[in-house]
């Protein structure tokens, strides 16, 4: 992650009680990620060490940092950092929300669907039908506990969500779409020995060693076929009256038939263009279609990915 710029956005002040004042200062951060990398709390503190909890404000030395939140903005390279400051009280010693998160690692097993064999081919029975095969796969579960001042703004939008980019937790890197948040819980208010109110948040991050994105084989009873038809048949006018009508290329959704011309009843594999995989030969420097493949290579089997779960930035989670 490469920092490009940090610019102030707005400042909001709020009186907490007669002896304590808290306010937030917002900053826009522009950074250049590498691949699917996402900005983390650790990146921000590396660039701006004075935002560490307990650090003094650059202008008001009696104010101390009480917390930092980093949220992604719509722009892929733009983030928003909210730095909270407090005047009064003892930020470093008395605020339980500044205590580090407790992260416990355990392993679990889940029955995972297996789509391909070691060569990348789908699992088929002797008649060519897709087999639904599951096998136990070991995966990590990270149980997180963190004391928070209040219910976070993001809480209702994250249950069962998966991570939108790579993230490092406890020094271990997890790839995009590899973690899912589960069992989110926030307890009632408690009071520390110094009278500070807080709530305890807990949740689990379940790892899928492959991906939490839903994958389904690209199969169907229809295929997309490119063909040329008279321009007038698709609502276009003949540009030259009394001349032969030009043709245009269209894509039609056509029912697939067997060798006897009967519509197939079992879905067949399609390529990324929505067609049965074709055989091509090079003639005069051009690839000419000569038929439909009957024996498919591993690369001919295409699986489609669907985002059936919410995808959210996990750098918002209290993991430090």
Per-residue pLDDT tens over the stretch 4-62: 888 888 766 676 666 788 888 899 888 887 766 677 766 777 788 788 777 888 888 78
**Is 0.75 topped by the overall pTM?**
no
Contact call for residues 65 and 79 (beta carbons, < 8 A):
no
Q: Could you give the number of structural domains in the chain?
A: 3
Which segment of 174-188, 224-238, 262-276 scores lowest on mean pLDDT? 224-238
Arithmetic mean of pLDDT over the chain: 84
What is the DSSP code (8-state) at residue 165? S
pLDDT score, position 185: 96
Q: Is residue 259 part of a domain?
A: yes
Domain extent for 290: 219-301
* Domain end position, chosen among 186, 215, 244: 215
> Would you call 114 helix, strand, or coil by DSSP?
strand
What is the DSSP code (8-state) at residue 187? -
Q: Is residue 308 part of a domain?
A: no
Which segment of 100-109, 119-128, 155-164, 223-232 scores lowest on mean pLDDT? 119-128
pLDDT tens-digit series, residues 158-172: 999 999 999 999 989
What is the DSSP code (8-state) at residue 246? P
pLDDT score, position 181: 97
Instruction: Identify whether residues 225 and 152 lie together within a single domain.
Output: no
Q: pLDDT-based confidence at 195, cuts 50/70/90? A: low
pLDDT tens-digit series, residues 242-268: 788 888 888 899 999 988 889 999 898
pLDDT score, position 47: 82
Q: Parallel, antiparallel, or unpaired: how do β-strands 102-114 and 311-312 relate? A: unpaired
* Domain end position, chosen among 176, 198, 215: 215
Q: What is the mean pLDDT of residues 57-73?
A: 82
Residue 313 to residue 72: CA distance in whole angstroms:
7
Q: Is residue 86 part of a domain?
A: yes
Q: Is residue 241 part of a domain?
A: yes
Q: Is residue 50 part of a domain?
A: yes
Residue 50 to residue 57: CA distance in whole angstroms:
8
pLDDT score, position 169: 93
Q: Is residue 307 part of a domain?
A: no
Contact call for residues 161 and 310 (beta carbons, < 8 A):
yes
Q: What is the mean pLDDT of residues 290-308?
A: 84
Instruction: Identify whether residues 86 and 192 lie together within a single domain.
Output: no
**Percentage of the chain lying above the pLDDT 90 cut:** 25
pLDDT score, position 313: 93
Structural Rg of the chain based on CA atoms:
29
Q: Is residue 315 part of a domain?
A: no
Instruction: Identify whether residues 137 and 35 lie together within a single domain.
Output: no
Instruction: Identify whether residues 177 and 152 lie together within a single domain.
Output: yes
pLDDT score, position 21: 84
What is the DSSP code (8-state) at residue 177? T
Alpha-carbon dihedral sign for residues 165, 171, 172, 173: positive
In sequence order, what are the residues at sequence separation of 6 or more whose Cβ sits closer than 8 angstroms to the Cβ of residue 116? Answer: 122, 123, 298, 301
Instruction: Identify whether residues 256 and 208 lie together within a single domain.
Output: no
Instruction: Identify whether residues 273 and 197 lie together within a single domain.
Output: no
Instruction: Identify whether residues 114 and 137 lie together within a single domain.
Output: yes
pLDDT at 91 over 60: no
Q: Is residue 144 part of a domain?
A: yes
Instruction: Identify whether residues 80 and 171 lie together within a single domain.
Output: no
Instruction: Identify whether residues 233 and 210 lie together within a single domain.
Output: no
Contact call for residues 206 and 253 (beta carbons, < 8 A):
no
pLDDT score, position 11: 66
pLDDT score, position 94: 62
* Domain end position, chosen among 38, 69, 91: 91
Instruction: Identify whether residues 172 and 268 lie together within a single domain.
Output: no
Instruction: Identify whether residues 246 and 268 lie together within a single domain.
Output: yes
pLDDT score, position 13: 61
Contact call for residues 30 and 84 (beta carbons, < 8 A):
no
Instruction: Identify whether residues 207 and 241 lie together within a single domain.
Output: no
């Amino acid at each position: 992650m490469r920092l490009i710029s940090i610019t102030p956005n707005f400042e909001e002040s709020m009186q907490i009680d007669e002896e304590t004042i808290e306010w937030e200062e917002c900053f826009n951060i522009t950074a250049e990620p590498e691949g699917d990398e996402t900005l983390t709390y650790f990146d921000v503190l590396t660039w701006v060490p004075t935002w560490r909890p307990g650090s003094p404000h650059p202008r008001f030395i009696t104010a101390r940092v009480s917390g930092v939140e980093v949220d992604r903005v719509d722009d892929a390279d733009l983030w928003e950092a909210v730095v909270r400051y407090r005047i009064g009280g003892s930020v470093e010693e008395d605020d339980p929300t500044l205590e580090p998160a407790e992260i416990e690692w355990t392993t679990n097993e889940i029955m995972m669907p297996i789509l391909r064999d070691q060569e990348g081919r789908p699992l088929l029975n002797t008649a060519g039908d897709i087999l639904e095969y599951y096998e136990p796969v070991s995966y990590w579960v990270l149980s997180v506990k963190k004391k928070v001042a209040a219910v976070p703004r993001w809480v209702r939008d994250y249950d069962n969500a998966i991570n939108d980019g790579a993230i490092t937790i406890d020094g271990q890197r997890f790839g995009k779409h590899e973690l899912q948040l589960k069992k989110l819980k926030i307890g009632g208010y408690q009071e520390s020995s110094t009278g500070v109110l807080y709530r305890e948040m807990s949740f689990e991050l379940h790892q899928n060693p492959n991906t939490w994105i839903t994958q389904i084989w690209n199969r169907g009873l229809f295929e997309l076929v490119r063909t040329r038809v008279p321009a007038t048949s698709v609502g276009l006018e003949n540009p030259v009256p009394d001349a032969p009508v030009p043709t245009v290329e269209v894509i039609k959704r056509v029912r697939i038939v067997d060798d006897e011309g009967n519509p197939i009843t079992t879905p067949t594999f399609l390529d990324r263009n929505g067609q049965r995989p074709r055989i091509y030969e090079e003639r005069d420097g051009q690839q000419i279609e000569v038929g439909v493949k009957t024996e498919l290579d591993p690369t001919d089997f295409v699986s489609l990915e669907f985002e059936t779960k919410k995808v959210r930035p996990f750098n918002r989670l209290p993991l430090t």
